[in-house]
Amino acid sequence: MADTEQPQIYLVTPPTINLSEFPNKLAAVLDAVDVACLRLAFAGGDEDALSRAADILRDVAHQRDVAVVIDQHLVLAQRLGLDGVHLLDTRSVRTARNDLGKDAIVGAFAGTSRHDGIAACEAGADYVSLGPVGQSSLGNGAPVDPDVFAWWSEMIEIPVVAEGALTPELVKNIASVVDFVAIGDEIWSTEDPATALATFVSATAG
């Protein structure tokens, strides 16, 4: 990634949502800020509930030309017409690629590991996410060394996503060496998620 490029926003849903409120909140955010991708990161295994939520949010995002991926659920990604899947580790990338086909988005979380990230790329991942960047329980909780992002931007062509307890200051520090910043809890816990996200967008200018 060239230093002159700004990373794009990769938006992550909360693990639980209120379907009577969240779709409108999401629409307001997507109307206010340019978002490249929406990740449905729902907790729980109730497939009917997941499908209802994914159906509604897919329509909100697709009406605004925003791609939608879902955590782990390959079957739902296919059944609901989503754009792809985000895997919570790198071991299933090849299977996901084979099942979803070459046109689907397949991404994977590699924690802080360069080795796992490279393995995901070799297995057919479209992007790799690394993190946490800040203090978070994501992965094993150990923050990724910023130098890993710098190394990735120099050595690897596959896009990299930075995620986990981001702040505008942290985003500013890594903006020149990442392709996407994953923002979720950082904004949904605020009173005005669109304004909060705009602050992160400003930080991507470095």
Domain that holds residue 178: 8-203
Crossing angle for the helix pair 93-100 and 114-123, to the nearest 10 degrees: 20
Residue 87 lies in a domain: yes
Residue 2 lies in a domain: no
pLDDT at 183 over 80: yes
Structure tokens at 29: 């955010």
How confident is the model at residue 158, as a pLDDT? 98
pLDDT digits (tens, 9 = 90+) for 132-167: 999 887 877 789 999 999 999 999 999 999 999 999
Residue 14 lies in a domain: yes
Domain of 112, CATH number, reads: 3.20.20.70
pLDDT at 182 over 80: yes
Contact 151, 113 (CB under 8 A): no
Residue 3 lies in a domain: no
Q: Which amino acid is at 107?
A: G
pLDDT at 112 over 90: yes
Number of domains in the chain: 1
How far is 10 from 153, CA to CA, in rounded Å?
18
Residue 133 lies in a domain: yes
Band (99; pLDDT cuts 50, 70, 90) = very high
pLDDT digits (tens, 9 = 90+) for 41-97: 999 878 999 999 999 999 999 999 999 999 999 999 999 999 999 999 999 999 999
Residue 173 lies in a domain: yes
Burial of 65 (0-12, 13-18, 19+ CB in 10 A): exposed
Structure tokens at 10: 């990769």
Band (4; pLDDT cuts 50, 70, 90) = very low
- Cis peptide bond N-terminal to 132, omega within 30: yes
Residue 21 lies in a domain: yes
Contact 134, 165 (CB under 8 A): yes
Structure tokens at 164: 């986990």
Band (3; pLDDT cuts 50, 70, 90) = very low
How confident is the model at residue 5, as a pLDDT? 82
Average pLDDT for the chain:
95
Residue 1 lies in a domain: no
- Let me know the angle formed at the C-alpha of 140 by 180 and 38, rounded to the nearest 5 degrees: 30
